[in-house]
Amino acid sequence: MPGIYLGTSDFAATVLRILAASPERPELVVTLPDRRRGRGRKEQASPVAACAEELGIEVLKSGNINEDGDRERILEVGGDWASICAFGQLIKEPLLSELPMLNVHPSLLPRWRGAAPVERAIMEGDSETGVCVMRLVAGLDSGPVALREETPIDPDEDFGSLAARLAEIGGRLLVKGLSAARKDEIIWEEQGEEGLTYAEKISAEDREIKPVRTARQVHDQVRALTPHIGAWLPIGEDDRLGVRATTVLDSGPESGQFEDREGWPVLGCGEGAIRLDRVTPPGKKEMDGDAWLRGSGQDIVLGST
């Protein structure tokens, strides 16, 4: 019983591992081509490609899955259903109709359709999220849902922790969904439009911390972007201080001002304040906020952008 899995990201690699350990192990994995990554800008395979090679699964690196050559290879492997998770390309006709696909999406659809559902859920202070396994259709994450599972979001949980848990849920649901789809045992649930929100891709502006916002909003921003993207504060004339972990405080200095509180840097916000627990100073490695404060002196001034 051949099968195909399409994915690219770290999240998708975790889902692949679970899928490969099940009766729904794919015969072919499709991912994006190698690209330059990291400080050395060396070409590296995607996390899914590396995972598939480790697992001994054939890999197709496709620059355009809709072109005849790659599309024909996928259809040659065939199978009743394919599966897809964080692939990074738009699947178009005729492939969309030729090979039905189950899509793993880490949100409680129709909330947070789009590119950054985990980050947006945390940034908005959502108390829960989850995973949906749905039928892939032409519209953005709008297909009917086969399976869904909810999970709470801890008020201090960051992206790394939440995404790992969602990937485990997604892998488990995908195995269940593929098994049911092959037996024609799925009861599809249309999403509807009530509660619809879009999770836009994280922009440069989303990364900048603005103290005019409330301490809770800043805290949610930081944890949503940690550890993979990173939020930052402008300091001095043209430097950026990476902020990796914070604690919300009821009170502090005026918005945009720093104070030393028991040896830790505290930043005033529009409402409340945040303690900078973990930071990445310009040109240095990540460190505790108190170590940064000792090394930078007491005259810390926010910059402007």
Q: Write down the pLDDT at residue 297.
A: 61
Q: Is the pLDDT of residue 182 over 60?
A: yes
Q: Write down the pLDDT at residue 296.
A: 79
Q: Write down the pLDDT at residue 295.
A: 87
* Inter-residue contact 44 to 35 (CB < 8 Å): yes
pLDDT in tens, 95-130: 999 999 999 999 999 999 999 999 999 999 999 999
* Inter-residue contact 17 to 52 (CB < 8 Å): no
Q: Is the pLDDT of residue 272 over 80?
A: yes
Question: What percent of the chain has a predicted confidence (pLDDT) above 70?
Answer: 95
pLDDT in tens, 17-64: 999 999 999 999 999 999 877 666 788 999 999 999 999 999 999 999
Q: Write down the pLDDT at residue 156.
A: 97
pLDDT in tens, 63-97: 999 999 999 999 999 889 999 999 999 999 999 99
Q: Write down the pLDDT at residue 117.
A: 98
Q: Write down the pLDDT at residue 118.
A: 98
Mean pLDDT of 185-198: 95
Q: Write down the pLDDT at residue 43.
A: 87
pLDDT in tens, 48-59: 999 999 999 999
Structural domains for the chain: 4-199 (3.40.50.170), 204-296 (3.10.25.10)
Instruction: Please state the three-class secondary structure of 246-286 as a single string.
Output: EEEECCCCCECCEEEECCEEEEECCECEEEEEEEECCCCCC
What confidence category does residue 303 fall into, taking pLDDT thresholds of 50, 70 and 90?
A: low
DSSP string for residues in 64-98: -TTSHHHHHHHHHH--S-EEEES--S---TTHHHH
DSSP string for residues in 187-235: --B---STT--EEPPPPHHHHB--TTSBHHHHHHHHHHTTTTT-EEEEE
pLDDT in tens, 135-171: 999 999 999 999 999 999 999 999 999 999 999 999 9
CA proximity to 159, closest of 98, 220, 218, 107? 220
